[in-house]
């Protein structure tokens, strides 16, 4: 068994055994979907609300799982010395990070399946028009937000603060990008912020593959912006990511 598979298995075991992670990362977006889909029963912006919310919560789920989840996990492990200890074994650092990433992808893929099934059974939501494109969006979302998550983990120093910091980023971002029921008429400042957020463009792509059956690559500009955010996070990580505790 390769070391990569070995590590992914352990990451999975740790994730599902951690009730906080499983609830916060896996259950929370599903719960929000159920709540919101029960409140908005009509159409939003001319789209069935169950569909629009599903796309929105899928986007929020990607950011929550890969960005918030990874940052919290990595900072927590770094500050107690788990990363430092692993660095002293033959496990190659790149293999470790790949395993953490793959494990995140597995979690988000399962979450996506859960969202789709729940949406279809309980709220009559549609299945993706472009299934392959939608699967691609799962990978794209995890890649972009994981890049940002590792970047954030490189900048955040404190294990106590990390969860607050990432949520202060993720929740307003999800709100402004329209994850929770479409984009309203925002004041110009908020509009301007929404116009640079990766989730805004990720949702554009998701709406395309999920509702309109367009290709994953139909919106090159949106794709480029999403990729740019991921690459920016990665660049920060390459420069500042560390394996040793920062606070002690």
Partner 1 sequence: MSNAIVVRDLRKSYGGVHALSGVSFEVATGEVFGLLGPNGAGKTTTVEILEGYRRRDSGDISVLGHDPGDSPRALREQTGVVLQQSENTPLLTVREVHRQFAGYFAQPRDIDEVIELVGLTHKRDARVRTLSGGQKRRLDLGTALVGDPELVFLDEPTTGFDPAARRSAWDMIRSLRSLGKTIFLTTHYLDEAQQLADRVAVLRAGEIVALGTPAELIGVTRRTEIRHRLDGELVVLETDEPTRVLHELTTRALAEGRELEQLEVRRPSLEDVYLELVEEPGER
Give the binding site for partner 1 (CB under 8 A): 1, 3, 6-7, 10, 13-14, 17-18, 80-82, 84-85, 87-92, 244, 248
**Which of 106, 232 has the CB closer to partner 1?**
106
Q: Find, among 172, 109, 175, the residue nearest to 137 by Cα.
A: 109
Cβ atoms of residues 237 and 150 within 8 Å: yes
Cβ atoms of residues 22 and 96 within 8 Å: no
Name the minimum Å distance from CB 89 to partner 1.
4
**Which of 85, 246 has the CB closer to partner 1?**
85
Name the minimum Å distance from CB 13 to partner 1.
7
In whole angstroms, give the CA distance from residue 149 to residue 153.
6
Cβ atoms of residues 59 and 206 within 8 Å: yes
Question: How many CB atoms lie under 10 A from the CB of residue 40?
Answer: 17
Name the minimum Å distance from CB 194 to partner 1.
38
Evaluate the CA torsion angle 170, 176, 177, 178 in order and state its sign: positive
Range 138-173 burial, b when 16+ CB lie within 10 A, else e: bebbbbbbbbbbbbbbbebeebeebbebbeebbbeb
H-type helices in 18-92, by residue range? 19-21, 28-39, 49-62, 70-80, 82-87
**Which of 1, 121 has the CB closer to partner 1?**
1
Name the minimum Å distance from CB 36 to partner 1.
32
Name the minimum Å distance from CB 83 to partner 1.
9
**Which of 82, 193 has the CB closer to partner 1?**
82
**Which of 221, 248 has the CB closer to partner 1?**
248
**Which of 92, 161 has the CB closer to partner 1?**
92
Cβ atoms of residues 91 and 3 within 8 Å: yes
Q: What secondary structure, in 3-state letters, does 98-136 show?
A: HHHHHHHHHHHHHHHHHHHHHHHHHHCCCCCCCHHHHHH
Name the minimum Å distance from CB 19 to partner 1.
9
**Which of 88, 220 has the CB closer to partner 1?**
88
């Amino acid at each position: 068994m390769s070391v990569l598979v070995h590590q992914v298995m352990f990451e999975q075991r740790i994730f599902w055994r951690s009730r906080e992670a499983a609830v916060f990362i896996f259950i929370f977006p599903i719960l929000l979907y159920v709540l919101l889909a029960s409140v908005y029963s009509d159409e939003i912006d001319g789209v069935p609300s169950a569909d629009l919310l599903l796309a929105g919560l899928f986007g929020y789920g990607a950011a929550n799982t890969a960005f918030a989840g990874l940052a919290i996990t990595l900072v927590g492990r770094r500050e107690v010395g788990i990363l430092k200890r692993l660095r002293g074994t033959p496990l190659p650092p790149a293999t470790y990070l790949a395993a953490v990433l793959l494990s995140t992808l597995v979690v988000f893929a399962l979450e996506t399946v859960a969202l789709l099934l729940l949406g279809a059974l309980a709220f009559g939501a549609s299945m993706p028009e472009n299934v392959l494109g939608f699967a691609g969006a799962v990978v794209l979302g995890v890649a972009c937000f994981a890049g940002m998550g590792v970047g954030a983990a490189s900048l955040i120093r404190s294990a106590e603060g990390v969860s607050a910091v990432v949520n202060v980023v993720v929740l307003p971002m999800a709100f402004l990008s329209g994850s929770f029921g479409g984009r309203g008429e925002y004041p110009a400042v908020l509009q301007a912020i929404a116009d640079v957020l990766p989730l805004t463009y990720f949702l554009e792509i998701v709406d395309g593959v999920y509702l309109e059956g367009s290709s994953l690559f139909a919106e090159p500009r949106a794709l480029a912006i999403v990729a740019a955010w991921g690459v920016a996070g990665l660049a920060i990580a390459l420069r500042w990511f560390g394996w040793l505790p920062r606070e002690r």
